[in-house]
Structure 1
Amino acid sequence: KSICSAQDSKVFLTHIIEEPRLPRQTPISDEVNRLIEQLQDLNFKEANTYLAQLKEQFDPNRVETIIESSDKPSIAMHNIIDREQIDLVMLSAHGYSGDNRWPYGNIALSFIVYGTTPLIIMQDLSIEEVGKTLAEKFAEQSKGH
């Protein structure tokens, strides 16, 4: 919020709804298509509510919300960054999955590896919650093993 005000810039609050994956060898039935649409609609409403709550914390003239649906959320996020010419990305270390085996989730890792803008990652897990990497476990083993 302070960065936005000080730099006279805009904030983009973004959420990518991951499209359901249905590995099949046969065409998807009309019934399954309707279920997918219902799930996507529900996810869109939830994302919209969440971003609207976040938006209230900012100057409404400086905030834009973007909700998109994609089967590849990471690529969709990178495309939004390029399209909107965003010059600073802030994201949480873990998204919806909250998997704590590693300090960063898939989308955060894609920005670390492939991002083209400055990046701020907000770690959402404590040091105790993040599992040790295999390298850290091996490094802790006593000498002679």
Structure 2
Amino acid sequence: MPFKHILLPLDSSTLAEEAVTHAITLARSSGADIHLLHVQKSPSHSDEHCTDPVEWRLRRAELRSYLKNLSEQITGQNIRVTLSIVEGRPAEQIVEYCEEKNIDLIVITAYGKGGISRFDFGSTAQQVFSGSGRSFMVVRPAGAPPDEEETAYRRILVSMDGSPRSEWVACQVASMMRGQKVEIILLQVIAIPEMPRRMPITQEEHATREKFVECNRRAAEAYLDEVARQLRNGIKVTPKLLVAQNVAERIYATAAKEQVDLIAMSAHDWQSGAQQVTGTLCHTVMCQSNLPVLVFQDLPEAQLQGLRLGSNICEIRHPTLSNDSSAHQ
């Protein structure tokens, strides 16, 4: 399973709480435990110049009670929970906690106690994405925590680009959702090459561009069919191929049109290097989509190299089921 330890940072705001049911859903699907974490600002990091020690201790007791109540609700669903309250700057402490506890997924809302702003993410979320190096799910708060029925992932869109990274993401999602009533949509968008210039392109240039796009489309069609074939095993997998000039826009627009519940993608596409936190494509989808986005960080280099050399895309099939047993089709 892709995840073992899920971190759910909470600042006791209703906006942050909208990530709770998503963390529960992912923990159930992957058999992971959940770490509830609150970072309480110490007097030296507080916005107030003078913090009453008594008031500070009372606040800490309230936070512990808050996390304990939430922990009891989650453990009632047979999910292991660890709760912690630490002191310091929120983003720094979250990143440090990830390293200490071997967290492999962070579930966090785009905004927390600071409220929704004109920026794409709150400062804490942005710093956590940048500094943790972990896979993460970013949830766009809608104003009220969703119930568990609303966070059931019945349709998941996986962004594909022909790279080993995207193949691995598709495999991880299929593995996590195995045995559930879910449809996985494998979406690849063929980019129309840009030809910026003052004068319109010639008829010959237009024909060349069309031929280039058609070659890519045919190759992608065969590729998506093969990946879908390997992933089907009691689960519905639908390949979808589109052609567009703006790839990121087509991804989040298609997700909205298809009424998917979740977008899953690699942090880095075939063009971006692992030196960046996320590639341009992933960052744009995260910023523009109102849907939760599950972002997988890179595979270890050894495994990526194996995929490049032709290793199997996915080894999750059960021999008792045939390839044609794609349920719910």
Specify if TM > 0.5. Answer: yes
Measured in 2, the distance between the counterparts of 1:50 and 1:116 equals 29
Residue 4 of structure 1 contacts residue 10 of structure 1 at CA under 8 Å; is this kept in 2? no
User: Where does structure 2 lack aligned partners over 5 or more consecutive residues?
Assistant: 1-173, 302-329
Measured in 1, the distance between the counterparts of 2:286 and 2:205 equals 36
Measured in 2, the distance between the counterparts of 1:79 and 1:113 equals 13
Matched, 1:116 2:290: yes
Aligned to 2:201: 28
Aligned to 1:62: 236
Deviation string for 1:17-52 (max 9, x for gaps)? 111111111121111011101110111122112212
Measured in 2, the distance between the counterparts of 1:103 and 1:50 equals 27
Q: Which amino acid aligns with 2:216?
A: N
Measured in 2, the distance between the counterparts of 1:46 and 1:103 equals 29
Between stretches 21-30 and 93-102, larger displacement belongs to 93-102
Measured in 2, the distance between the counterparts of 1:63 and 1:126 equals 26
5 Å matches for 1:129-140? none
Aligned to 1:77: 251
Deviation string for 1:41-85 (max 9, x for gaps)? 111122112212210222277111111111111110011101100
Residue 272 of structure 2 contacts residue 280 of structure 2 at CA under 8 Å; is this kept in 1? no
Residue 98 of structure 1 contacts residue 105 of structure 1 at CA under 8 Å; is this kept in 2? yes
Measured in 2, the distance between the counterparts of 1:45 and 1:124 equals 27
Query: Normalization by structure 2: what TM-score?
Result: 0.36
Inter-CA distance 126–113: structure 2 relative to 1 (3 Å threshold)? farther
Equivalent position to 2:262, from 83, 88, 95? 88
Q: Which amino acid aligns with 1:121?
A: V
Matched, 1:105 2:279: yes
Aligned to 1:38: 211
User: Where does structure 1 lack aligned partners over 5 or more consecutive residues?
Assistant: 128-145
* Displacement after TM superposition at 1:126 (Å): 5.2
Residue 4 of structure 1 contacts residue 11 of structure 1 at CA under 8 Å; is this kept in 2? no
Measured in 2, the distance between the counterparts of 1:11 and 1:97 equals 24
Aligned to 1:9: 182
Measured in 1, the distance between the counterparts of 2:297 and 2:219 equals 23
> Aligned pairs, how many?
127
What percentage of residue pairs aligned between the two structures are identical? Answer: 23
> More relative contact order in 1 or in 2 (CA 8 Å, sep 6+)?
1
Q: Which amino acid aligns with 1:21?
A: E
Residue 261 of structure 2 contacts residue 291 of structure 2 at CA under 8 Å; is this kept in 1? yes
Measured in 2, the distance between the counterparts of 1:8 and 1:125 equals 27
Q: Which amino acid aligns with 1:56?
A: R
Residue 274 of structure 2 contacts residue 298 of structure 2 at CA under 8 Å; is this kept in 1? no
Q: Which has the higher Rg, Structure 1 or Structure 2?
A: 2
